[in-house]
Chains A and B, each alone.
Chain A
Amino acid sequence: MLVGLIGPLSLALTACETRSSNELTNRLVVAQASDATSLDPQGANDVHSALVNTQIFETLVIKDDNSQILPGLAERWELLDDGLTYEFYLRENVYFHNGEEFTATDVEFTFLRALDSPHVAHILGQVDPNGIKVINDYKIQIATLEPNAPFLQHLAHSSAAIMNRTAVTESGEQVGQNPVGTGPFQFEYWLDGEYVQLKRYEKYYGEKPAYKELMIKVITDNTNRTLALKTGEVDITFNLPTSDVNMVEKNEHLRLFRLANFITHHIGFNLTKEPFNNVLVRQAINYAVNASQIIEDVLNGVGEVATSPISSNVWGARADLAGYEFNLEKAKKLMLEAGYENGFSASILTANTGISPDIVFNVVNQLSKIGIEINIRQLEWGSFIESISGNDHEMYMMGWSCVTGDADYGLYSLFHSSQGPKAGNRTFFADDRVDELLDLARSTININERLEAYYEVQEIIVEEAPWLYLVTGETLVGARANVRGFRINPGGHHKFASVYFQ
């Protein structure tokens, strides 16, 4: 916390420094806050590992900026009559980094292996182990256990990356340190805790990167990471703190990339506990909190007010819901109606890192104006997750990332009554109509039916207010001014192959 205060002050005092950029040495250096844990796409699903794996591996399909599915390693595909099986026609003349040709057996191997990995169960758990059939070298059928509408969206996720059977079998236990993929970058070296070194794959079938080397560095301290950007040691830096936005924008040697991501920051209520079992109370709280003020004061203008449980860039999200505008009078009226005109006291749990504590302080302050006294408990991450996995919590602060960009992922585990707190439904929300709609939307592939179902679901969930809807996040990336061609991926799977210097 202290460092957080000193950091911006110190940065404000420093002169603007530049060194010769990495452009001259034909390499791109990017920095993130933590090291990857494993370069096995099925061995870890944290964002830091995903950032590295996204450069090395490829998926059968990819998504464009509007979440439309485009060909990746699969050129085309069709859903067979049973509604369960997709037949994929694979790209030919694609080679893995070890020289082997990419064929259907690699795809079969990848998906069978995925079924054993708990890390990717939320992405590939729907695949039917008996439904994977290799037709020939470039044609394969993959079936799901039940009709699964978001399946292709899941296949575009970096955890569904295709791995080479020979390489994985040979690596044995070391597979997490010896990644072999089909992507534009080839693995060279991993200096544990410091950086991963990649180089351009010269036999890549698509457009090759403009530079030869890619180094993904680890700089744990926020201030130091931004400093490295200022001095030119690093070309692109991730995990940029919101407090650095102004500095980066004003600095003529730097530029800021920002894009809405899939995260919805919210405070959840435990609907089994009084007074949160009363919808009027929940709605009152939503009216009483001014989310725009939070964005201005706490987040330095980063983010948008949330009017739905899923952010507007998610497929199936509604951008037209009115949500709860800031209205203190209405809040007080609702509290009176609910029988709590003198307020009440409650407790809230939050993790002690990131923006959560700051947001919580602000919210607690705002809610005191309608008489609600809240006791804040900050916990270390592991303990925090444990504390909200049972039925002890009253309120909690969370950010849920809808990583697949499809509404199902952002709604099902959170609001379906079959999902308990360990799966994501920590509010114990249970509504028959919502259950019905979510099940329908998950299984039908009729796009209009899905959209209609999700539209109604969102309306109900906002009306019932199991959450205090706060902010949808923005990913902030700082870069040197000469970096071009970089696009932020809202799910965090940024690709560096298209980057070039100018």
Chain B
Amino acid sequence: MHKYILRRLLYLIPVMFGVSLVVFTMMYFTPGDPARIMLGESAPAEAVEDLREELGLNDHFVIQYGNWLKDLIFNGDIGSSYRTRRPVSDEIIDRFPTTLRLAAAGVAVSVVVGVPIGIISATKQYSFLDNASMFTALLGVSMPNFWLAMLLIIQFSVNWDLLPSSGLDSPISYILPAITLGTSSAATIARMTRSSMLEVIRQDYIRTARAKGQVESVITNRHALKNALIPIITVIGLQFGALLGGAVLTESVFSIPGVGRLMVDSIGARDFPVVQGGVLFIAIAFSLINLLVDILYAFVDPRIKSQYK
């Protein structure tokens, strides 16, 4: 299995190269001059030109990309933000732990809420509980993120004065953002859990276990759930990856300085190095999560483990 992991890690390199080239090209051709945006529309044209020279914006596309690659490979430097002049790595690393914690909290909420609902729906299919759960799941997926965030703030922060409305000063600050993030993920996970469980419950070995007199709860939680886990873990992994990419709307409403907001602000300001570095970082994080999920498969299903050579 170690060779498998190593191989997967090596695959990251061409992927990163491809991602960086695509992002660079997109940013290069997007209208909007970083220098002009930074200096404001009242700045004299010479000042804008000076700044463009300073940032190397007048160089040819190939030269700019080449310089960036060179700095990355030989100096381990992914550049500095045009706006703050801080190293891009600092900008991202400042914010990544926050995003990581937020994503983890969101996933935790979605798993804790989604999986049990999915199980109950599956075991009591077509009952009122099942229909109600699926309806709630539909609501959860359809609700706009920021709207839910606003409602939660108004109720818990303003009316009941229980939880903070912005920032991340204390552990309880994570509650409202986590609920906001977790809600739509919970819905997706609930539905996936339900359909996966339904498939498994119809299997012969479940009927056998029941025939042998096994307790229903053990059948559900050990036999059925464990076999249904693969698609569920996949979805959880995807959700986590998506949240790591930054839950921009939630971050904006709660004023949480995460990677998502950094990316959106940087794109708006055409802060190329930050966008470049940020997308690369998110791509790596996402790939690593996928790898982790694949490894988890091996532990959940021994048949898969043997395939990893």
Interface residues of A (CB under 8 A from B): 2-3, 6-7, 10, 13-15, 17, 19, 34-35, 37-38, 43-46, 118-119, 121-122, 125, 173, 176-177, 191-195, 217-221, 223-224, 227-228, 230-231, 233, 380-383, 385-387, 389, 398, 400-401, 403, 409, 413, 420, 422-424
In the bound complex, do residue B166 and residue A219 qualify as a contact, i.e. CB atoms below 8 Å apart? yes
Q: What sequence of 0s and 1s flags, for each residue 121-162 of chain B, a beta carbon within 8 Å of any chain A beta carbon?
A: 000000000000000000000001011001101100111010
Is chain B's interface secondary structure helix, strand, loop, or mixed overall?
helix
Which of A176, A231, A401 contacts B42 (CB under 8 A)? A401
In the bound complex, do residue A37 and residue B44 qualify as a contact, i.e. CB atoms below 8 Å apart? no
A6-B150, A228-B166 given; 20 more Cβ-contact pairs under 8 Å: A34-B265, A37-B84, A118-B48, A121-B44, A122-B39, A122-B43, A125-B46, A176-B84, A192-B91, A193-B261, A217-B167, A217-B255, A228-B165, A382-B30, A385-B41, A386-B31, A386-B33, A398-B41, A400-B41, A401-B42
Tell me which residues across on chain B come within 8 A of A176, comparing CB atoms.
84-86
Judge whether B252 is part of the interface by a CB distance below 8 angstroms.
Answer: yes
Judge whether B95 is part of the interface by a CB distance below 8 angstroms.
Answer: yes
Q: For the complex, what is the distance from the CA of A281 to the CA of B253, rounded to whole Å?
A: 45
Judge whether B56 is part of the interface by a CB distance below 8 angstroms.
Answer: no
Interface Cβ pair total, 8 Å cutoff: 169
Judge whether B83 is part of the interface by a CB distance below 8 angstroms.
Answer: yes
Tell me which residues across on chain A come within 8 A of B165, comparing CB atoms.
224, 227-228, 231, 233
Tell me which residues across on chain B come within 8 A of A422, comparing CB atoms.
36, 45, 48
In the bound complex, do residue A43 and residue B158 qualify as a contact, i.e. CB atoms below 8 Å apart? no
Given contacts A3-B146, A221-B255, A382-B270, contact A38 B85 (CB under 8 A): yes
Given contacts A176-B85, A231-B157, A381-B37, contact A420 B45 (CB under 8 A): yes
In the bound complex, do residue A382 and residue B42 qualify as a contact, i.e. CB atoms below 8 Å apart? no
In the bound complex, do residue A221 and residue B161 qualify as a contact, i.e. CB atoms below 8 Å apart? no
A25 to B: closest C-beta gap in Å: 14
> Would you give 29 A-B contacts (Cβ < 8 Å), ordered by A?
A7-B150, A10-B150, A10-B154, A14-B154, A15-B159, A118-B51, A121-B44, A122-B44, A176-B84, A194-B167, A195-B167, A224-B150, A224-B165, A224-B253, A224-B254, A227-B153, A227-B154, A227-B157, A231-B157, A380-B32, A381-B32, A381-B37, A382-B33, A382-B34, A383-B30, A385-B33, A385-B41, A386-B32, A387-B31
Q: For the complex, what is the distance from the CA of A428 to the CA of B204, rounded to whole Å?
A: 81
In the bound complex, do residue A173 and residue B85 qualify as a contact, i.e. CB atoms below 8 Å apart? yes
Tell me which residues across on chain A come within 8 A of B91, comparing CB atoms.
192
Q: What sequence of 0s and 1s flags, for each residue 78-113 of chain B, a beta carbon within 8 Å of any chain A beta carbon?
A: 000001111000010011000000000000000000
Number of interface residues of B (CB under 8 A): 56
Which of A6, A227, A380, A387 contacts B147 (CB under 8 A)? A6
A167 to B: closest C-beta gap in Å: 16
Given contacts A17-B161, A224-B165, A413-B44, contact A38 B37 (CB under 8 A): no
Beta-carbon nearest neighbor of B82 in chain A: A37
Given contacts A192-B257, A220-B252, A381-B37, contact A17 B42 (CB under 8 A): no
Q: What sequence of 0s and 1s flags, for each residue 258-275 of chain B, a beta carbon within 8 Å of any chain A beta carbon?
A: 000110010011100000
Interface residues of B (CB under 8 A from A): 30-48, 50-51, 54, 83-86, 91, 94-95, 144, 146-147, 150-151, 153-154, 157-159, 161, 164-168, 252-255, 257, 261-262, 265, 268-270
In the bound complex, do residue A194 and residue B255 qualify as a contact, i.e. CB atoms below 8 Å apart? yes
In the bound complex, do residue B37 and residue A2 qualify as a contact, i.e. CB atoms below 8 Å apart? no
Q: For the complex, what is the distance from the CA of A175 to the CA of B32, rounded to whole Å?
A: 27
B209 to A: closest C-beta gap in Å: 50
Q: For the complex, what is the distance from the CA of A423 to the CA of B45, rounded to whole Å?
A: 5
Tell me which residues across on chain B come within 8 A of A420, comparing CB atoms.
45
Q: For the complex, what is the distance from the CA of A231 to the CA of B38, rounded to whole Å?
A: 34
Given contacts A221-B252, A231-B165, A382-B268, contact A17 B150 (CB under 8 A): no
Is chain A's interface secondary structure helix, strand, loop, or mixed overall?
mixed
In the bound complex, do residue B255 and residue A383 qualify as a contact, i.e. CB atoms below 8 Å apart? no
Beta-carbon nearest neighbor of A191 in chain B: B257
In the bound complex, do residue B38 and residue A400 qualify as a contact, i.e. CB atoms below 8 Å apart? no
Q: For the complex, what is the distance from the CA of A125 to the CA of B43, rounded to whole Å?
A: 10
Leading 8 A-B pairs by shortest Cβ distance: A193-B257, A382-B32, A121-B47, A118-B47, A118-B51, A422-B45, A118-B50, A386-B31
Tell me which residues across on chain A come within 8 A of B147, comparing CB atoms.
2-3, 6
Which of B150, B153, B255, B270 contacts A220 (CB under 8 A)? B255
Tell me which residues across on chain B come within 8 A of A15, comparing CB atoms.
158-159
Tell me which residues across on chain B come within 8 A of A7, comparing CB atoms.
150
In the bound complex, do residue A177 and residue B48 qualify as a contact, i.e. CB atoms below 8 Å apart? no
In the bound complex, do residue B255 and residue A227 qualify as a contact, i.e. CB atoms below 8 Å apart? no
Which of A14, A221, A380, A423 is the most central at the interface, judged by chain B CB atoms within 10 Å of its CB?
Answer: A221
Q: For the complex, what is the distance from the CA of A307 to the CA of B9, rounded to whole Å?
A: 66
Beta-carbon nearest neighbor of A19 in chain B: B161
In the bound complex, do residue B85 and residue A43 qualify as a contact, i.e. CB atoms below 8 Å apart? yes
B171 to A: closest C-beta gap in Å: 16
Which of B30, B35, B144, B159 contacts A17 (CB under 8 A)? B159
In the bound complex, do residue A218 and residue B43 qualify as a contact, i.e. CB atoms below 8 Å apart? no
Tell me which residues across on chain B come within 8 A of A227, comparing CB atoms.
153-154, 157-158, 165
A178 to B: closest C-beta gap in Å: 12
Which of B31, B46, B269 contacts A121 (CB under 8 A)? B46
In the bound complex, do residue B159 and residue A385 qualify as a contact, i.e. CB atoms below 8 Å apart? no
Given contacts A14-B159, A382-B270, contact A424 B42 (CB under 8 A): yes
Tell me which residues across on chain B come within 8 A of A383, comparing CB atoms.
30-32
Tell me which residues across on chain A come within 8 A of B54, comparing CB atoms.
118
Tell me which residues across on chain A come within 8 A of B34, comparing CB atoms.
382
Tell me which residues across on chain B come within 8 A of A228, comparing CB atoms.
165-166
In the bound complex, do residue B253 and residue A37 qualify as a contact, i.e. CB atoms below 8 Å apart? no
Q: For the complex, what is the distance from the CA of A424 to the CA of B111, rounded to whole Å?
A: 54
Which of B43, B95, B150 contacts A3 (CB under 8 A)? B150
Q: For the complex, what is the distance from the CA of A2 to the CA of B252, rounded to whole Å?
A: 14
